[in-house]
Structure 1
Amino acid sequence: MRIALAQMQSGIDPQSNAVAIVQAIGSAAKGGAAMVFTPEMSGLLDRNRARASGHIMTEDQDIVLSEVRRAAAEYGIWVSLGSLALKGGSDGRLVNRSFLIDAAGSVRARYDKIHLFDVDLPTGESWRESAAYAPGKEAVVADTPVGRLGLSICYDLRFPALYAVLSEAGATILSIPAAFTVPTGQAHWHALMRARAIENAAWVVSAAQVGTHEDGRKTYGHSLVVDPWGEVVLDMGEQLGVAFAELEQERCNEVRTQIPVIAHRRAVSDALVVS
């Protein structure tokens, strides 16, 4: 099955970002894709929280989600909307939420980012996601035309236990939309994406943000598709736009037969000995 990835440079205006996403959905559909994947924070990327707050809505009010659902139905294509910043956290904080939207424009699944990025980087950049966002509590898998999809977002990438849960629940494709910083991207992006694919004998699809954004941040790009053997079959580099890849379900079956990592997993926490 053919998929498309949209590599974006989202900015501080949700309406402009919605236009870009809809254009990408149209391009993906015209290119024959059954499904298109977009990056983390597709609808708004603004580290100025005071300015951003006026654009962040509840799910039923969000213009980006509304436009994406409309476009999915218009073009008859599934959309994995990487994530949106939304009001609605149980403790009053925001949520970083990914959506799976079918070809009729209906929301089939939602996933709230579980692992939040709190760090001070050597470059002087400081990130405190937990100051604004509540963590999700549930892992999510859903059936799609291209296979069973396990949802995650960006920093989740560094926590392999999540992907073990997803693959054990039948996921053969792992979606990891991202807005990776340049230093961490250069150091870890390809290695971690390939590791998650190899550990789970699953396809990894990672649509990413790229370039210098309106709020001043710089993101790494390199949207990837990695096959279940760990081979990179698509790397978009620093190019904006839409690119395509073919996902072969049989490839997942072949790798899991050669190295049956799912079947061979054992719970080890109860067997831990501390001496």
Structure 2
Amino acid sequence: MSDRPVHTTPFRVAALQMVSTPERERNLDDAERLIAQAAADGAGLVLLPEYFCFMGHKDADKLTVREPYGDGPIQRFLAESARRHGVWVIGGTLPLTVTDPHDCARVLNTTLVFDPSGQNRARYDKIHLFNFEKGAESFDEARTIRPGSEVCTFDAPFGRVGLSVCYDLRFPELYRRMGDCALIVVPSAFTYTTGRAHWEMLLRARAVENQCYVLAAAQGGTHENGRRTWGHSMLIDPWGEILAVRDEGPGVVAGDIDLARIDEVRRSLPAWRHRVLA
């Protein structure tokens, strides 16, 4: 059981599902519409999917929309959306410029968090880079993405939030390093093949083993570049129950973070307290 006080008022959160395109401005317009919808429904925190701002025809296309940390149209959009709607916005991922001049052919795949005043409160650079070969499907993120190295959490009104991205989901040691979280977020662009096989079981496992909520915002559909993503954005409670899910297509998945539910689960099955290995 946590020492956190039990809040009597649940905090509403939302995951946005998108089918992003090679046109940045069209993606930002779509994201704005979904953020507004989630905020109107009472969400105080909104999570965008990985690559919400851009999915090019080739992996290297993302270099054309990369931004230096601290400024750029995508970062301004996220800050302004958070301020306009008075919500926390977790900006899925966007491509940030690598400062190392010897690594200019890659970007950082970065999650940025903005508070309701539009201030940047946290940054996480994706650590684990996806590599997959099966038939005609071939992915190697390391060709165009430089990995991050730092675990990142931030404090939201309801408690600690742990940041992760897509392929990170397969590495449970990352989540243990986050400490006692009320919520873990997983913006993603899982392929249809790997998503159908493993997406739900991995998300539910992370919720059960960390006895916290998991919010996953996914790309979900057939994209203009020919790629098909799995979708199934969802919110999962600390017992592993799926509270809300959207299979495919753009939309909003929403539900409540209830700290009393976390404490109830941890009292009845105190696995968090029984941890022995760091």
Q: TM-score, normalised by structure 1?
A: 0.92
Q: Offset at 1:236?
A: 0.8
Amino acid at match of 1:238: E
Over aligned residue pairs, what C-alpha RMSD do you find? 1.5
Matched, 1:132 2:132: no
Measure, in 2, the Cα distance between the counterparts of 1:79 and 1:50.
27
Secondary structure, counterpart of 1:42 in structure 2 = coil
Do the aligned partners of 1:117 and 1:127 also contact (CA within 8 Å) in 2? Answer: yes
Measure, in 2, the Cα distance between the counterparts of 1:250 and 1:141.
21
Amino acid at match of 1:113: K
Do the aligned partners of 1:2 and 1:246 also contact (CA within 8 Å) in 2? Answer: yes
Q: What corresponds to 1:147 in structure 2?
A: 159
Measure, in 1, the Cα distance between the counterparts of 2:215 and 2:141.
23
Do the aligned partners of 2:234 and 2:253 also contact (CA within 8 Å) in 1? Answer: no
Q: Which has the higher contact order (CA 8 A, sep 6+)?
A: 2
Amino acid at match of 1:94: V
- Alpha-carbon deviations, 1:127-182, whole Å to 9, x = none? 1111111111110111112331000000000000011111x2x2111101100000
Alpha-carbon distance change, 121 to 89 in structure 1, aligned in 2, over 3 angstroms: farther
Secondary structure, counterpart of 1:262 in structure 2 = coil
Measure, in 2, the Cα distance between the counterparts of 1:203 and 1:89.
35
Measure, in 1, the Cα distance between the counterparts of 2:121 and 2:51.
19
Equivalent positions of 1:113-262 (< 5 A) are: 113-122=126-135, 124-166=136-178, 168=179, 170-262=180-272
Alpha-carbon distance change, 22 to 194 in structure 1, aligned in 2, over 3 angstroms: same
Alpha-carbon distance change, 184 to 49 in structure 1, aligned in 2, over 3 angstroms: closer
Which of 32, 36, 39 is the aligned partner of 1:26? 36
Do the aligned partners of 1:18 and 1:68 also contact (CA within 8 Å) in 2? Answer: no
Q: What corresponds to 1:264 in structure 2?
A: 274
Do the aligned partners of 2:19 and 2:249 also contact (CA within 8 Å) in 1? Answer: no
Q: TM-score, normalised by structure 2?
A: 0.91
Matched, 1:106 2:116: no
Amino acid at match of 2:123: R
Structure 2: any 5+ residue segments left out of the alignment? 1-10
Do the aligned partners of 1:18 and 1:63 also contact (CA within 8 Å) in 2? Answer: no
Secondary structure, counterpart of 2:199 in structure 1 = helix
Q: What corresponds to 1:273 in structure 2?
A: none
Deviates more, 1:257-266 or 1:214-223: 257-266
Q: Offset at 1:226?
A: 0.5
Q: Between the two proteins, what is the percent identity of the paired residues?
A: 39
Measure, in 1, the Cα distance between the counterparts of 2:59 and 2:87.
33
Secondary structure, counterpart of 2:272 in structure 1 = helix
Aligned residues: 265
Measure, in 2, the Cα distance between the counterparts of 1:70 and 1:117.
31
Structure 1: any 5+ residue segments left out of the alignment? 269-275
Runs (4+) of structure 1 exceeding 6 A deviation are none
Q: Offset at 1:239?
A: 3.4
- Alpha-carbon deviations, 1:80-109, whole Å to 9, x = none? 111112212544331000011100011100
Amino acid at match of 2:239: W
Q: Offset at 1:54?
A: 2.1
Measure, in 2, the Cα distance between the counterparts of 1:255 and 1:205.
18
Matched, 1:6 2:44: no
Do the aligned partners of 1:85 and 1:96 also contact (CA within 8 Å) in 2? Answer: yes
Secondary structure, counterpart of 1:109 in structure 2 = strand
- Alpha-carbon deviations, 1:227-246, whole Å to 9, x = none? 00000001111131123211
Measure, in 2, the Cα distance between the counterparts of 1:3 and 1:216.
31
